[in-house]
């Protein structure tokens, strides 16, 4: 299976970009896997700031399960991806079946972070979007979709999102084959053409 990884800061538009690529790839069904689905239900004790869980630290993710699922996908086997509920901060009982297939797009803030995952990616992309734009997008999303309040979102951004982005996330851009800015329409066409050519 051909796997494309899309990394970038919270609010950079990773899922939107992935959807644009999927719409433009012709000739096959492209599967979509979200790293957000692999949040741990119980974070490590060291992963708290001001007694609040830090979901922007790399250790907030279930890397063991993610590596296992990646290995299965590369062998063209089906996986059952977890479903994470951001309102309750827990996994739901249901799962999502992904695979087998020819192409999968994997998006997440740390899509390029883990060396074992990186080695299984055929194309690595990093979305570089200015911090103010990412913050505004995150603000709107968390209020509308995740039931968060304004003060909580701002505190989380300054205490966790911004410092984790600088320390752990932004450095992963060096692993990208392609760095994309805010205008993703043209980039989606290029990536989709690349995938289609590979399939042919």
pLDDT digits (tens, 9 = 90+) for 158-177: 888 899 999 999 999 999 99
Query: In this structure, what are the phi and psi dihedrals at residue 40, rounded to the nearest 5 degrees?
Result: -70, 145
Q: What is this structure's pTM? A: 0.88
23 backbone φψ class: left, alpha, beta (φ>0; ψ -120 to 50): alpha
Asked whether residue 45 carries a pLDDT value surpassing 80, the answer given is no
Quote the CA–CA distance of 143 and 141 in Å, as a whole number.
6
pLDDT digits (tens, 9 = 90+) for 80-104: 999 998 888 889 999 999 989 999 9
Quote the CA–CA distance of 15 and 35 in Å, as a whole number.
10
**99 near 78, Cβ under 8 Å?**
yes
Quote the CA–CA distance of 101 and 78 in Å, as a whole number.
9
The SS3 of residue 113 is coil
Lowest mean pLDDT among 10-19, 22-31, 42-51, 68-77: 42-51
Q: How far is CA 192 from the centre of its chain?
A: 18
Q: How far is CA 200 from the centre of its chain?
A: 27
Query: Is the bond preceding 100 in cis, omega lying within 30 degrees of 0?
Result: yes
Quote the CA–CA distance of 139 and 177 in Å, as a whole number.
29
The SS3 of residue 178 is strand
Q: Which residues pair with 32 in a beta bridge?
A: 105
Quote the CA–CA distance of 199 and 193 in Å, as a whole number.
10
Asked whether residue 31 carries a pLDDT value surpassing 80, the answer given is yes
36 backbone φψ class: left, alpha, beta (φ>0; ψ -120 to 50): alpha
Question: Domains plus CATH for the chain?
Answer: 2-193 (3.40.50.300)
């Amino acid at each position: 299976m051909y796997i494309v990884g899309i990394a970038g800061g919270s609010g950079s538009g990773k899922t939107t970009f992935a959807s644009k690529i999927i719409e433009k790839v012709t000739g096959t069904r492209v599967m979509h896997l979200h790293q957000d689905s692999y949040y741990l239900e119980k974070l490590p004790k060291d992963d708290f700031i001001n007694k609040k869980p830090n979901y922007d630290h790399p250790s907030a993710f279930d890397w063991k399960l993610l590596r296992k699922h990646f290995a299965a996908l590369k062998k063209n086997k089906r996986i059952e991806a977890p479903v994470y509920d951001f309102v309750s901060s827990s996994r739901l009982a249901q799962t999502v079946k992904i695979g087998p297939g020819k192409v999968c797009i994997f998006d997440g803030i740390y899509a390029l972070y883990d060396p074992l995952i990186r080695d299984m990616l055929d194309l690595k992309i990093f979305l570089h979007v200015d911090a103010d734009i990412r913050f505004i997008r995150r603000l709107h999303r968390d209020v509308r979709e995740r039931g968060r309040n304004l003060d909580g979102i701002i505190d989380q951004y300054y205490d966790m999102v911004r410092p984790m982005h600088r320390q752990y996330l932004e450095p992963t851009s060096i692993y990208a084959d392609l760095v994309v800015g805010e205008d993703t329409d043209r980039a989606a066409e290029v990536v989709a053409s690349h995938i289609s050519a590979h399939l042919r």
